[in-house]
Amino acid sequence: SQTIHQWPATLVQPVGSPLSLECTVEGTSNPNLYWYRQAAGRGLQLLFYSVGIGQISSEVPQNLSASRPQDRQFILSSKKLLLSDSGFYLCAWTGKGSNQPQHFGDGTRLSIL
Amino acid sequence: GDSVTQMEGPVTLSEEAFLTINCTYTATGYPSLFWYVQYPGEGLQLLLKATKADDKGSNKGFEATYRKETTSFHLEKGSVQVSDSAVYFCALSDRAGGTSYGKLTFGQGTILTVHP
């Protein structure tokens, strides 16, 4: 069966520090991958998605970037974190084809001090 | 563009009460519709889905019917439990032109609290 892993689960970082969040998927190949941010008490905002290695699409302009160095690895990064980057970050995957639901990781709670 | 509108919460119910969370959508194509549930501190879990008009998705006592004529996908459960307390998200995936890349459009979420 397929599984998705995110780490770390919780992260506290100072303003201006770099960021790297990792997401890996097991049990499937060539998935579509997604990064979302969920601000406290609000819905989900799609940040990036990827349909293949090295292919990244950004949905909103921001301080973050994403990379997909391997088929089942998706990384969210920042060179300098802002206070507004605080939130709950969720990675998700879906198979190719229509009617495919997205499957989510357990998320990373990021607090910027 | 696509959009999903959920009833505003929070919703507070007593155990064994009937639950309805309204969801309506706007889409250019023929979307698939989903309900996700998020328990405190966790990621989202797929609760149920429907892929075409008049389909009924069901899981764990929850049901939702894809109503194309009213562009709705309301979530219902006949008797809620304390363990159902969570945030519920309605979402759609628009397959128009096959270029959606599986992206989902989410509603803002509805907080459900069930008291004993």
Q: Using a CB-CB distance cutoff of 8 angstroms, which residues of chain B are in contact with residue A51? A: 101
Mean pLDDT across chain B = 91
Average pLDDT for residues B76-90, to the nearest whole number? 96
To test the contact with chain B by mutation, choose from A5, A48, A102 the residue with the greatest count of B C-beta atoms within 10 A, namely A102
Please check the confidence at residue B97 and state whether its pLDDT lies above 60.
no
Residue of B nearest to A56 (CA): B101
pLDDT at B82: 96
Q: Is A32 in Cβ contact with B46 (below 8 Å)? A: no
Residue with tokens 């950004």: A58
pLDDT surpassing 70 at residue B98: no
Closest partner CB to A105 (pick from B43, B46, B93): B43
